[in-house]
Structures are given as structure tokens and as C-alpha cells.
Structure 1
Amino acid sequence: MPTSRRAALAAAAVAVLVLPLSACGSSDGKGGSTDASGKVEGDITFQTWNLRANFKDYFESVVAGFESKYPGTHVKWIDQPAEGYADKISADAAGGTLPDVVNVSPDLVAPLAKAGLALDLDKAAARYEKEYLPGAWASHQIPGMKGTYAFPWYLNTGPLFYNKSLFRKAGLDPDRPPRTYDDLFTDALELAHKSGGKVATLANVPTIEDFGRYGVPLVNQQGTAFAFNDPKGVELLTKYKQLYDAKALDPQALTATPESSGKKFLTGAVAMNPGSALDLDNFKKQAPSLYRDIGITDQITSTGHVNMYVMGVMVNSRTRHTPAAVAFAHYVTDAAHQMAFAKKVAIFPSTAGSLDDPYFTKQDGTDETRVRVAAAKSLKTAVNYTPVLFSDQMKTALRNEVAKALQGKQSPKAALDNAVKACDTLLRQQG
């Protein structure tokens, strides 16, 4: 279902950064230090990603709190619009004007780390690692490189919504939705058969996250090549081809967007669709009959680990005030501030223990809380399946080849071989 891009963390939906390896950061162009143990002082700049409009008071309060805690510091907060954010970071990195502390997603931090512009927190701030969920801390690690290159910030994940009425009409138990991929494919074929091909179960082609949830290896251990064309990957795409042929996968899935898939679900043309707690209010307003019969279940996975999206806060390795920059990045992402932010928008803290707070564990009888509690529980062991090196161009390459396979223009094996070849070429171009 369509959700707010920032709140739902549509991570990695940006163009790949192309940075010269000799690029340098910080506004004065001088090199910094990896030693964060000194006195916390000096002027630093903090850049966020399209957050000022809705959270101005919150961030001004965070900045004021930090400056009060550390007299002698001054934080200049700047916020960039969502559109063109990747290009802005690329230009700043190349021009030596990258802010000291930067809001990033894993795909954005990868080229900065390769260019030597992202501070390795395993060296500069290892003492803080235990404060964060292991999966979240690992989300800003780069295959083929040692180190962690951003503090994990807020997380998100979401359940699957399903239409109980459509399940009943197909003779399926509305209180027993599919939990495994085998169940999903069996139920989807039954729904399509019983409806004469009028009701599809899914509205989207498989993405890189779907291959990850299915247990497909995505990248080799060295981080030098993609690996999702292995037999298990071919198996998943073959099953999707069967769904497509039976109209259990919506015929328009090849060109679907989150918005179009959401509309299909609202109108009863699709039986299941991923979403978040933010969607429930949309159901209430636009499809009250669906809302009254909505089913909520966990993401389907073969690994036992759901997918999570993650945002991070990176420290520019060329900052002149490393202690202050590291201290501020940690301050923004510590447990207290993450919890405060999570209560302002439907996101989740990446800090260890925060998800045990009653806000994320106690039911109050509402569907909104039900979704929040279920998501928080799953996030404790969630994985960011999108490889940090998987750019928007690579997503397009995979989608194009998957479409050819579903249309019968090539075999699932050939499609994934071609997708891996294209993605590997793009990966080499990243440097």
C-alpha cells in the first residue's frame, strides 16, 4: 500500500552515487581525525533528509539539548528535500562541502565509504555498538570492506494485509492466512481458480527483498558479484511465472507501483498487499467495508527473518571536529531520542531494548497497535535484505528481466543470469 516515503523508509530508492575516490569532505576541505576520544567541542553541521516540514520542533529541541550538554559546541541543522538528495550528497562529496553529520540510507553510505568519506565507527565509536540491535548495526557495513559506516537510526517494517472476504469466497479459512511460501502459492492458485481469474493474490513482481526472504543468496561473500541467479532464485521466479500464467499474480504487476497496487487491494481485485500501520487510516476512509474485514499477518519468509528498512546517521571522516561529530551522531540515535521520535511518527527504534517498551508490546484492542506490536516483535531479528550495493539502476535491471520471464520471453534461469550480469556490470562501474 502507498505510504509516506520517509515514514515507511522506502530505502534505496535513489540513484547511485558516483564519487571520485580522491573526493574530500568537510566544509573547509581539510582532513580530519578518526580519534573521537578528545573533547567534544566546535561547530558542526547536521544534514537531514526531508524532515524539517514535519519535525522542525523535534530537531531544534535535539540540537538545543546537545549544545546544552556540551558547552562549546554549535550544531547547524540543514535539511534537504527528498528529490535530488543523492545528487546533492554526491556534489557535496566531490566539492569538499559534505556536512559533518549526514542522514543516509545504506545504499547512500556505500559509495561514500568506498571514497574514504564515511568514518569507520568500528574504529572510532566501537563502544556504542552494544547499544543497537545487531541487525541494525550491521546494516551499514559494506561487503568487501571492514568496518561500520553509520549509526543505525530509525527502522521500519510492515505486515501483509489480506481481504478476509475474498478468502471466504474461495473456500479458504480467513483466519489462517498463508505463512510460508508454499502456502502462499497454493492459496494464490486456489483464489485465482475459484474467481475465474478475476482475483489475484499478489500485485507485484518479486523484488530483491523477496529473493532475500525466500532464502536466496544475494551477493557473494567478497561483495564483488551478485548471486541471486542460484537454483533457489530460479525456483522462486519459476513459481511466480506459474502464478502469472494462472492470473494469481495481477496481469498489470509488470508495471505496478505501490500506489497502483494499493488501489487494486482497495477495490478487491487483489487479495493481499504489504503495508504498514499508516495504511489502516487509509482503509477506514477509502474502503470502510474492507477495513471491517481486514486481515493482518506477518511477512512471508523462508528464513524466519522479516525484511526491515533502515536509516542511518553517518559521520564525515574529514570533519575537523571528530569528537563532536561522533557525539552528536550518537546523541541523535541514542535510545531516548529514538523513542521520542518513534512516538511522533510510525517508525521503530534501532536501539537494543527499546522495542521492549510497553509502547511496542502492550495491546490496547486497536488494529493500529496490533500492527505496531507485531512489527516491533519481528524487528528484533529482522534483516535488511536490500544489498547496500544494490542501486536503483540495478533494481530496474532485475525488474526488466523478471518481466521477460513472466511473459515467457525467456526462461527464469536466463532472466536471472542476465539480471546478475547487468548488475555486476553496474557494480564494477561504482568502483
Structure 2
Amino acid sequence: MPGSGRSGARRRTTLTAVALAALLPLSACGGSGDGGGNASGKVGGSLTFQTWNLRAGYQDYFTALIADFEKRYPGTEVKWVDQPAERYADKISADAAAGTLPDVVNVSPDLAAPLAKAGLALDLDKEPAAAKYAKEYLPGAWAGNRVPGLGGTYAFPWYLNTGPLFYNKALFTKAGLDPEKPPRTYDELFSYARTIAERTRGKVATLANVPTIEDFGRYGARLMNEKGDGFAFNDAKGVELLTQYVKLYRAGALDGQALTATPESSGQKFLTQAVAMNPGSALDLGNFKKSAPTLYRNIGITDQITSTGKANMYVMGLAVNSATRNKATAIAFAHFVTDARNQMSFAKRAAIFPSTQGSLDDPYFTRQDGSDTARVRVASAKSLKTAVNYTPVLFSDQMKTALGNEVARALQGKQSPQQALDAAVKACDQLLRQS
């Protein structure tokens, strides 16, 4: 499902490598292609391709894409299955248990990681037929599907997403701030937030989210140790960021419901003009225009704020089942779907961004036409050239919850920021050892 800022791409899994490792004997019989196996290394035979909640909006695109592949490689047959967003990780786990994992599977990095640990995702770097394509993709996108401690790359980069920071010019003006000068640094963000809270007497908060793992990454905290076997976001930068959020919370600059907020609820807060700033993407502009015309007329758009100079990217990929009966065909198809031509075509339909080298230099991503949508698209494409996926591929849903719980305790004054992050790192490390 094409993502939109945080809300569209922060999809996590409870799938663990321990569970998958136990399934390896069941999966050894190969992929789910229904016959037509090809052990010769030539492209041919049948395979199954699974996407993640894409049929409803893009059926015509994928039908034509598959027809093009089958025409290019006579004798191939691709069966397309699409799974709903809900419980997608559970579906992958069930397929792994039954030995019916599709030959080519749509995954995010956090879904690819447990498959890789269990030996169910093909290491593209060790497979010459796949490794030769690495240079076609943005380095940050190819690296997005690497797994610390294993080495290797376990999915072809597919589409990317990122987005700007939206702000409400009317609320800035109400607080006596220049609506044409949004914050560019974290220091400015924190200062603006305190000013808005003070001058609106606590009626308007600036942010609706507590910091997440990608926020710590953007701020410059070290997320994992060098070996990739432990977390490290309790360093000085991490503590500094959480300390600032504690101050914002106490000053009323952080929405009172932030402790239990979701990306969707935070977006709703911004939509109803209860908060002054929120991350998003070009997809949100249409929603603003339709659902909140007053907000749309006052929308401000600025770049993501980072201390690293690199924006956050969300990555979708296509993993190849390591036990597929049709390895050559599965690799060829995964590359075909993610090559520059097909990614560009999909990007223009789905309002996402291609992960292939040079694609972001296309006029579609570089030329302004005066619209806010183009402005966001051009700015996002520029940032993606150097963007990174800050969320560690090993950061599970349980770890996200552990971090959120400790952050909440710090905001409530029940422990210091250092104590909170020390506890979060300890809990996440324990979960990592269990995986």
C-alpha cells in the first residue's frame, strides 16, 4: 500500500525470527509456484507474486505489468495475489509455516528481516543474477533491506516515500510568528512551539506526536551499536531530544493526548487545526482541500527538520523466496517490477517515488507547475536522493511499544529522560536477543 508520510509506512510486524526459524523444515519444499519449475537458470515457468493491499487502486496497472513480463519472457506465467493491509504479517507467517510463501513477496524492511534470519529470503548480494542489478538503485534504498548481523540485501528496493512538514500559517500568525518563516532547525522548532503555547495560553499545541525511533535518528542519536546486535539511542543526543520533549509537554506545546496518539489521530488533530505542525506527504494535500478547505488555504510547507542533513525515507521492497522452484524467473520478475521504467509508471499513478538511479531527475520530479502538490513532490524527490531509512530493520512492533511506554513515563515525570531511554534500550535489547 503506497505510504503517506508516517501514517502510510509505519507498518510493523510481530513476526519473529524464532517463529520463522522453526518453520524452515516446512518451507524447504520450495516456493508456491504451481508447477513448471525451472532449475536450469533460464527464465521460464510459473510463479506467484504477492502485493500488500494494492489491488483496489491499481489492478489495471499490475494486470498490464504482468502481461508485459509474460510477453518479454515467453513460457512464463505469473499468478498475482493481493493481501489486505490488516494482519499482513500474520499472513506471511502462515504461508511460511505451510511452505506456501509466494515466490516474490511485497515486504517492508521490518518484514524482510525475520524472513532473512530464518533463511527464507534470498540474499541478493550473494546471488550473481540479482547482485548485478544493485547499481541500478539508490544506495540508500538498496541498503534499506540489509539486516545487521547477517550482511547481505534481502529485497529489491521498490517504491519510496517521504514528505515535508506541514504547518498552519493562521496559527503561526495568531501566535505572532511570521507565517513565511517556518522553523528550519530543532532549536527553532522548540522555540516556536513554546511561543505558540504561551501566546495562545495553551489552547494550541505545536506537535501531536511523542518522539519515535525515526525522530531519534533524525535528531542524530545513534540507533544501534556497530555490531548491530544492540540499540544505542540512549546516548547524549537521544537524551537531549527527549529532554526537549519533556519541556514541550510541560509547557503545553505538545498535545495533551500525544501519549496515546497514533499517526492517524495526529493527522486528525492537524486537520481540525488543534495543532500547528504535522508531518505528511503530497497525498495529504488532496485531503486537506476536500475535508478542511480553511486549513488548505492556510497550509504552509517546509522541509523535514533533521540534525543529520538527511531526511527519513520509507522503503517498500520485493523479496524473493529463497526456496522458490523458479529462482531465475523470480529474480527476473522482481527486477522487472522494480526497474526504472516500471517504477516511474507506478510513481505517476500512486504518488510515491521510484528507488532507481536517475529516476528522481525526471522532469516530473524536478519541475514546478505552481501547485502545492508539485511543490511537495519536487521537494520530496530532492530529499530522497540522500535520504535514509532511520527505522532499524530489527525494530519490531514490540520494541516500538517498549520505547513509547518509557517515553510516556518520562513525559509524565515518573523518570528522567536518561532513565527512560536506558530502560527502553534494555527492553529492546532483550527482545532482540529473543528474536
TM-score (norm: length of structure 2): 0.94
What is residue 70 of structure 1 aligned with on the other side? 73
| C-alpha distance in 2 between matches for 1:41 and 1:295 | 52
Cα–Cα, structure 1 residues 193 and 36, in superposed 2: closer, same or farther, change >3 Å?
farther
| C-alpha distance in 1 between matches for 2:10 and 2:289 | 27
1:114-147 residue CA offsets vs partner (Å, 9 max, x unmatched): 1111111112111101100000000000011111
What is residue 281 of structure 2 aligned with on the other side? 276
Moved more, 399-408 or 288-297: 288-297
Q: Does 1:185 align with 2:185?
A: no
Q: Does 1:365 align with 2:370?
A: yes
Q: How does 1:109-258 map to 2 (within 5 A)?
A: 109-124=112-127, 125-258=130-263
Q: Give the superposition deviation at 1:258.
A: 2.3
Paired letter, 2:386? T
Instruction: Kindly tell me the number of residue pairs found equivalent between the two proteins.
Output: 425
Q: Give the superposition deviation at 1:263.
A: 2.5
Q: How does 1:292-303 map to 2 (within 5 A)?
A: 292-303=297-308
1:150-202 residue CA offsets vs partner (Å, 9 max, x unmatched): 00000000111101111122222211111111110111111111111111111
Q: Give the superposition deviation at 1:12.
A: 3.5
For residue 216 of structure 1, give the secondary structure of its aligned residue in structure 2.
Answer: coil
Q: Give the superposition deviation at 1:354.
A: 0.4
Q: Give the superposition deviation at 1:30.
A: 7.9
| C-alpha distance in 2 between matches for 1:233 and 1:164 | 30
| C-alpha distance in 2 between matches for 1:267 and 1:52 | 31
Structure 2 residue corresponding to 1:43, chosen from 43, 46, 54: 46
What is residue 99 of structure 1 aligned with on the other side? 102
Asked whether the equivalents of residues 106 and 139 of structure 1 are also in contact (C-alpha less than 8 Å), the reply is yes
For residue 21 of structure 2, give the secondary structure of its aligned residue in structure 1.
Answer: coil
Q: Does 1:53 align with 2:56?
A: yes
Asked whether the equivalents of residues 231 and 425 of structure 2 are also in contact (C-alpha less than 8 Å), the reply is yes
What is residue 348 of structure 1 aligned with on the other side? 353
Moved more, 259-268 or 306-315: 259-268
CA RMSD of aligned residues (A): 1.9
Structure 1 residue ranges (4+ consecutive) displaced by more than 3 angstroms after TM superposition: 4-9, 24-32
Asked whether the equivalents of residues 31 and 323 of structure 2 are also in contact (C-alpha less than 8 Å), the reply is yes
Q: Give the superposition deviation at 1:95.
A: 2.2
For residue 77 of structure 1, give the secondary structure of its aligned residue in structure 2.
Answer: strand
Q: Give the superposition deviation at 1:20.
A: 2.1
For residue 245 of structure 1, give the secondary structure of its aligned residue in structure 2.
Answer: helix
For residue 61 of structure 1, give the secondary structure of its aligned residue in structure 2.
Answer: helix
| C-alpha distance in 1 between matches for 2:4 and 2:215 | 21
Asked whether the equivalents of residues 28 and 97 of structure 1 are also in contact (C-alpha less than 8 Å), the reply is no
For residue 116 of structure 1, give the secondary structure of its aligned residue in structure 2.
Answer: coil
What is residue 320 of structure 2 aligned with on the other side? 315
For residue 331 of structure 1, give the secondary structure of its aligned residue in structure 2.
Answer: helix
Q: Give the superposition deviation at 1:21.
A: 4.9
| C-alpha distance in 1 between matches for 2:205 and 2:264 | 17
What is residue 20 of structure 1 aligned with on the other side? 21
Asked whether the equivalents of residues 4 and 280 of structure 2 are also in contact (C-alpha less than 8 Å), the reply is no
Q: Does 1:402 align with 2:407?
A: yes
| C-alpha distance in 1 between matches for 2:161 and 2:31 | 36
Cα–Cα, structure 1 residues 335 and 232, in superposed 2: closer, same or farther, change >3 Å?
same
Q: Give the superposition deviation at 1:260.
A: 2.2
| C-alpha distance in 2 between matches for 1:82 and 1:408 | 37
| C-alpha distance in 2 between matches for 1:71 and 1:286 | 48
Q: Does 1:10 align with 2:12?
A: no
Asked whether the equivalents of residues 105 and 320 of structure 2 are also in contact (C-alpha less than 8 Å), the reply is yes
Paired letter, 2:200? S
Q: Give the superposition deviation at 1:25.
A: 7.2
Asked whether the equivalents of residues 31 and 101 of structure 2 are also in contact (C-alpha less than 8 Å), the reply is no
Q: Give the superposition deviation at 1:27.
A: 8.8
1:48-71 residue CA offsets vs partner (Å, 9 max, x unmatched): 111111111111111111111111
Paired letter, 2:289? K
What is residue 264 of structure 1 aligned with on the other side? 269
For residue 343 of structure 1, give the secondary structure of its aligned residue in structure 2.
Answer: helix
| C-alpha distance in 2 between matches for 1:196 and 1:30 | 61
| C-alpha distance in 2 between matches for 1:24 and 1:30 | 13
Q: Give the superposition deviation at 1:205.
A: 0.3
TM-score (norm: length of structure 1): 0.95
What is residue 422 of structure 1 aligned with on the other side? 427
Asked whether the equivalents of residues 36 and 326 of structure 1 are also in contact (C-alpha less than 8 Å), the reply is no
Asked whether the equivalents of residues 25 and 316 of structure 1 are also in contact (C-alpha less than 8 Å), the reply is no
What is residue 89 of structure 2 aligned with on the other side? 86
Asked whether the equivalents of residues 25 and 98 of structure 1 are also in contact (C-alpha less than 8 Å), the reply is no
Moved more, 406-415 or 36-45: 36-45
Q: Give the superposition deviation at 1:392.
A: 0.8
Q: Structure 1 unaligned runs (5+)?
A: none
Paired letter, 1:14? T
Cα–Cα, structure 1 residues 309 and 25, in superposed 2: closer, same or farther, change >3 Å?
farther
Cα–Cα, structure 1 residues 382 and 327, in superposed 2: closer, same or farther, change >3 Å?
same
| C-alpha distance in 2 between matches for 1:5 and 1:29 | 29
Q: Give the superposition deviation at 1:22.
A: 5.5
What is residue 374 of structure 1 aligned with on the other side? 379
| C-alpha distance in 2 between matches for 1:85 and 1:58 | 22
| C-alpha distance in 1 between matches for 2:248 and 2:39 | 54
For residue 78 of structure 1, give the secondary structure of its aligned residue in structure 2.
Answer: strand
Q: Give the superposition deviation at 1:81.
A: 1.3
For residue 278 of structure 2, give the secondary structure of its aligned residue in structure 1.
Answer: strand
| C-alpha distance in 2 between matches for 1:340 and 1:332 | 10
